[in-house]
Amino acid sequence: MIRKLFPCFLFLLFAVSATFAADTTWVLKQSTLTYHVSHPLHQSEGTSHAARGKGICHDGQCDFLIAVPVKTFDSGDSNRDLHMLQVTRGAEYPMVTVRTKLPESAANQSTIDADLEIQFAGQTAHYSQVPFQVTTQGNEKHITGTIPAKLSDFKIEPPSLLTMPVKNEIPIRVDMTWAPQ
Amino acid sequence: MHLRSVRSASAFIFVLIFVLASLAYAQEAAGIISGTVTDSSGKAVAKTKVLATNKVSGQSAEAQTDFEGHYTIPNLAPGDYEVTVSEDGSKATGTATLAAGAQQTVSLTLASSQTAPPTLPSAPTPQKTEPQQNEPSLSDLGFAPAETKANPREQALLDKRTHMLKIHQRMGLITTIPMIATVITSLQAGGHKEDSATRDLHVALGSLTGDLYGITAYYAIRAPKIKGTETRGQIKFHKAMAWIHGPGMILTPILGAMAYSQKNNGEKVHGIAQAHGPVAIVTAAAFGAALVSVSFKF
Which residue in the set A77, A87, A123 is minimally distant from B235, CB to CB? A77
Cα B30 → chain centroid: 12
Tally A–B CB contacts below 8 A: 118
What percent of chain A is predicted at pLDDT more than 70? Answer: 88
Q: Tell whether the model's pLDDT for residue A22 goes beyond 80.
A: no
DSSP assignment of A16-35, as one string? HHHHHH--EEEEEEEEEEEE
Closest residue on chain A to B168 (Cα): A162
What are the tens digits of pLDDT across the range B259-297?
999 988 888 899 999 999 999 999 999 999 999 999 887
Tell me what the mean pLDDT of segment B203-218 comes to: 96
pLDDT on residue B58 = 86
pLDDT-wise least confident of A43-47, A66-70, B127-131, B247-251: B127-131
**pLDDT at res. A84:** 95
**Do B143 and A67 count as a contact with CB atoms less than 8 A apart?**
yes
Whether the pLDDT of residue A21 is over 70: the answer is no
| Confidence band, pLDDT 50/70/90 cuts, at residue A11 | low
Q: Kindly list the residues from chain B whose CB atom is less than 8 angstroms away from the CB atom of residue A123.
A: 64
Supply the pTM of this predicted model: 0.70
B166 min Cα distance to partner chain A (Å): 9
Which has more confidence, B127 or B89?
B89
Q: Is B282 helix (H, G, I), strand (E, B) or coil?
A: helix
Which pLDDT score is estimated for A16? Answer: 47
Is the pLDDT confidence value at B238 over 80?
Answer: yes
CATH of domain A23-180: 2.40.128.110
Of A79, A122, A161, the CB nearest to B295: A161
Q: Which residues of A touch B154 (CB under 8 A)?
A: 91
Task: Select the more confidently predicted residue: B213 or B189.
Answer: B213
pLDDT more than 90, % of chain B: 45
Q: What is the value of ipTM here, to two decimals?
A: 0.83
User: Rounded mean pLDDT of chain B?
Assistant: 83
Which region among A8-17, A169-178, B179-188 has the lowest average model confidence (pLDDT)? A8-17
Q: How many helices (H) and strands (E) does chain B have?
A: 6, 8
Which segments of chain B are extended strands (E)?
A: 31-39, 49-54, 60-64, 70-76, 79-87, 90-98, 103-105, 108-110
Show residues of chain A in contact with B158, CB under 8 Å: 82, 85-86, 90-91
| pLDDT confidence of residue B5 | 58
Which domains are delineated in chain B? Answer: 31-110 (2.60.40.10), 156-293 (no CATH)
Minimal Cβ distance to A52: which of B132, B141, B226: B141
Contacts of A122 in chain B (CB under 8 A): 63-64, 66
User: What are the pLDDT digits (tens) for B33-88?
Assistant: 888 898 888 888 888 899 999 988 888 998 888 777 888 888 888 888 999 998 87
Domain layout of chain A by residue ranges: 23-180
Angle, helices A78-87 vs B234-264, to 10°: value is: 110
Helices B276-293 + B152-189 axis angle, to 10: 140
Look at residues A72, A91, A123 and name the one whose alpha carbon lies nearest to residue B152: A91
B285 vs B230, residue with greater confidence: B285
B109-123, B160-174, B205-219: range with lowest mean pLDDT: B109-123
SS3 state at A41: coil
Whether residue B21 is predicted with pLDDT greater than 80 in this model: the reply is no
B125 phi/psi in degrees, rounded to 5: -70, 120
Give the distance, in angstroms, between the CA of residue A175 and the centroid of all CA atoms in the same chain. Answer: 9
